[in-house]
Structure 1
Amino acid sequence: MTHEEKRAWIRLIVAVIAYTAYVVVILRRAEGGPLPDVPYAAALLWTIGGAIAAAILAEIGMAIVNPRASRVIDVRDKEIGRFGDYTGQAFVAIGAVAAMLMAVAEWDRFWIANVIYLFFVLSAILGDVTKIILYRRSVPTW
């Protein structure tokens, strides 16, 4: 497994765990009440910050466990990275349009913030899954 594939696995796992933790926190705070009344901003920011820190620490840990691993990025790694990023960006665009329409319709800020967060997470998941699949198979030739 290449260094870049390991990084994709780390980011995928961290994104799923962090978002799941966020949803659990919000649902517990709601206690059956309306979700827009839940204080979400701190949980959202802590979850995002924690996910970034966890991914960085996991990558540092990966480097410590295997210090001699090659970190050379070849043409295949670049192509896989680019294709995965392009694939994931589709969800960023969809989320931005959804948030814009929600703002125009004057939805509650809770829903707008959460749809943006959801689509960022979906973007990360789709991009990293795409990278992992391409590492396991091959890069398509167009």
Structure 2
Amino acid sequence: MTFTERYTWAGLILSIATFAAYWIVIVIRAASDGLPFAEVAWQGPMLWALILGGGLYALAMLVLWIRVRGEAHTDARDHEIERYAATAGSGLTGVAVLATLVMLALAAPLFWTATVLFAGSFLGSVVSTGVTLSAYRRGF
């Protein structure tokens, strides 16, 4: 397993865990306070999810990088796979950004606007990661 494939797996696991933890907090807050999702205090959990998820990913990448220091980290195949996967995931992320801009223009509630951007970015990332891992396992 290459360095790039290892950190892709780490990123997938961390992003799923972070996204799930965010939604668990939001659902518990909504249920315990008897509030609709749009009225729950969502800003703190979302910021913490982004900060902790990014920090843990950086830490995982650092640990993986230290383990292979002195070796080649990527090759031409890794670069091709990353380019191919970025193309696959960017479409979904772009749709999420467009939907967010439309929601902002229509003055939609901030919770739903932020959620569309957060979930769309997450799903674009998952698609990109899935394409990357599939390319490593099955080829192009």
- Whether 1:74 aligns to 2:82 is no
d(CA) in 1 for partners of 2:11, 2:72: 17
- Whether 1:56 aligns to 2:34 is no
d(CA) in 2 for partners of 1:128, 1:11: 8
How many residues align? The count is: 138
What are structure 2's unaligned runs of at least 5 residues? none
Aligned to 1:34: 36
- Contact kept, 8 Å, 1:5 with 1:135, in 2: the verdict is yes
Aligned to 1:97: 98
d(CA) in 2 for partners of 1:61, 1:93: 31
Q: Taking structure 1 as the reference length, what is the TM-score of the superposition? A: 0.90
* CA RMSD of superposed structures (Å): 1.5
Shift of 1:71: 3.4
Task: Show the 5 A alignment for 1:1-142.
Answer: 1-31=1-31, 32-64=34-66, 66-67=67-68, 70-139=71-140
Shift of 1:50: 0.5
Shift of 1:58: 1.4
Shift of 1:123: 1.1
Report Cα offsets for 1:29-79 as digits up to 9, x if no partner.
Answer: 112421111111111111011001111111223344x34673332111100
**Identity level (%):** 28
- Contact kept, 8 Å, 1:80 with 1:134, in 2: the verdict is yes
Q: Which runs of 4+ in 1 moved over 6 A?
A: none
d(CA) in 1 for partners of 2:71, 2:135: 19
Higher mean alpha-carbon deviation, 52-61 vs 19-28, is at 52-61
- Give secondary structure in 2 for the equivalent of 1:124: helix
d(CA) in 2 for partners of 1:89, 1:110: 23
d(CA) in 2 for partners of 1:96, 1:67: 36
What are structure 1's unaligned runs of at least 5 residues? none
